[in-house]
Amino acid sequence: MSEEALRQQIQNLKKHNARLKRIAYDARNKLSAALDGTGLCLWQLDIPSGKLVIFNRRWGAMLGFQPNESEARFEEWRAHLHPEDADDVLRAFYDHIEGRAPYYEALHRMLGKNGRITWVLDRGRVTEWDAQGNPLKVTGTHIDMTKEKNYEAQLAMLALHDPLTGLANRHALQSHFSQLLAQGPLCMAFIDLDNFKHVNDTLGHRSGDEVLIQLSQRITEVVPASVVVGRLGGDEFVLLLPFLIDYPKVRILAQAVLDAALTPFNLDNGHAQIGASIGIAPVQPRDSFNDALKRADEAMYQIKKNGKQGFRLAG
């Protein structure tokens, strides 16, 4: 082959190599854009060196970092694992690397920039081994699951809390009731508001809702943390008091709740004045939630019948 022919062949190979590089660069950009749009990060770990190859920029972005602000290394990834999740995540990772699990998978939290927490679904599998069968490379994905976890938390919140006031709903009250009853003495207070209908009729239901919200906050502030405050619906509230019925604090708390209801409410369109009738009953060891609620309701009814705005302790 002549020198000129060899030079021409080298030139052609350089052009072909440049073309392949452009195609690879274009393909990688397209892959990066496609993955970023789905919230998916594709990665590959070189085990001996600890170097991470991130095939798109999503990993740093999901943790709040700018491009090149965080180093793409295994130690960097491990340092950003949430302390409460780190042991489980690393155990799952090494179980796969060491052949005890067919793949690596973990749903966990990562700590990003300024302490930002991101939920990640992490999956991976060994894709290359050396001649002795030792793993060399792991390829996998990170998927940002933060929105899904937040939505899950909101659903859990709605399942156990009254949507208007944020207090425990009936379902949560029943659960707390069983737990507290197993732990020791327990009383139940049933609260029915007085003159609440007048607020709705004169100021409107939006103002009525605001009264319920403000009252919920007041009650929560005057009772200790050990007392469970809940709303059954409408203008009916329940307190689970982990005390004996003759414990002096029961009367003190009942009066504090009554004062909270009697204190006028300042609203955007006026002032509201309500009251409360409160019945308190001791819970017996074999009582169901409804049994205790019925006796507290009966004690409350005696207050309603005798002029409202007070509390009564059942015998």
Active-site residues, by number, are 235
Burial 87-107 (b: 16+ CB within 10 A, else e): eebeebbeebbeeeeeebbbb
Residue 260 CB-half CA count within 13 A: 22
